[in-house]
Structure 1
Amino acid sequence: MPITPFHFGPGAAIHAVAPRHVSFLAFCAANVLIDIEPLYYMLTGQYPLHRFFHTYIGASIIMLATALIFFAALKLASRFSLPDLLQWQSLSARAIWLGAGIGSCSHIVFDSVMHADITPLFPFSETNVLYQLVSLRKLHLFCVYSAILGLAILGIRQWIKARHAG
């Protein structure tokens, strides 16, 4: 299933550990952009589903595209009165780049473990040494536990902040 929320779990944990340095929004955006590729191939009945953008070279292009989209949106926000949901307008360039980069690369790692049709090192190699490195169950549990950990850390941070403010 493309655009799975499982990918977001590790992003939540990484963002929770370094909230000013890694954008969770850019992390998620990169993951969604990568999964437009298999969604398209699913809808058109073409196989394999995971192609160019599910390689590290393709993921690097997605990272660049994600960052450029964020920078363009920030430029528009400075000219027009765009809503600042989740404080995206205060993201630093570093947080955007790191979020997009970690999101893109982690997506390839996780999908490489899950899907036989991925060749992450293409055009240098057509092998996928990560395929079934761990079971699908363990991979999903890792993603879910990462999300829980990230939410717990963020919740504790908010609780501490509220206690010191009041």
Structure 2
Amino acid sequence: MPFTPLHMGPALVLKSAASASFSLTVFGWSQIVMDIQPLVVMLTDSGELHGWSHTILGATLLGLLSAITGKYLSESGLSIIRWQRFLPIKWKTAYLSSFLGTYSHVFIDAIMHVDVLPFSPLFDGNPFHGMVSIAALQQICIASAVIGGILCVARDSKSKKA
């Protein structure tokens, strides 16, 4: 199912550890961009569900697109909700967050879905599929979301006291 929030779990841990060097909003945007191609396949019943977008090459191209569009969308959204402390998003941060988003998306989906071919067109096959069970992968993503969320709240409350 496209647009699952599970990919955001590990991102919360990254945000708690590298606050200014990582944009959670650009990362989140890259997750949405990654799943547009599978959504189109589901809606049209045409093409490979986890096709070109779920390859390293596809993730690289979508990472570039997500960084460029995500920086501006994120800055606009953060301005609207008045979270000025996260602005501006540096280009280096946008690219890092976007590529971490697209590459981790391929890796997580490759573990979960047999039809993901991360190294296509160089070679077929998915060496990551079944690395851990789907249940374990989901638990890891949920646990990292909880831990990362707690660490982000703790960091933010500590910085407000200072």
2:80 corresponds to: 83
Matched residue, 1:11: 11
**Structure 2 counterpart of 1:138:** 136
Matches of 1:151 and 1:71, distance apart in 2 = 22
Q: Distance in 1 between matches of 2:83 and 2:55?
A: 30
CA distance in 1, matches of 2:38, 2:55: 13
Does the aligned pair in 1 maintain the 2:30–2:70 contact within 8 Å? Answer: no
State the match for 1:58 in structure 2: 58
Alpha carbons of 1:72 and 1:26: their partners in 2 closer, same or farther (altered >3 Å)?
A: closer
Task: Measure, in 1, the Cα distance between the counterparts of 2:120 and 2:39.
Answer: 20
User: 1:115 and 1:41, CA in 2 relative to 1: closer, same or farther beyond 3 A?
Assistant: same
Percentage of identical aligned residues: 28
- Matched residue count: 159
Q: Cα–Cα, structure 1 residues 15 and 41, in superposed 2: closer, same or farther, change >3 Å? A: same
Q: Which runs of 5+ in 2 are unaligned?
A: none
Match of 1:128 in 2: 126
The residue correspondences of 1:1-166 to structure 2 (distance < 5 A) are: 1-71=1-71, 83=80, 85-87=82-84, 89-164=87-162
* Contact preservation (8 Å) 1:24, 1:99: yes
Whether the aligned pair in 2 keeps the contact of 1:74 and 1:89 (CA below 8 Å) is: no
Determine which structure has more spread, i.e. the larger CA radius of gyration: 1
Aligned alpha-carbon RMSD (Å): 1.9
**Taking structure 2 as the reference length, what is the TM-score of the superposition?**
0.90
Regions of 4+ moved over 6 Å:
none
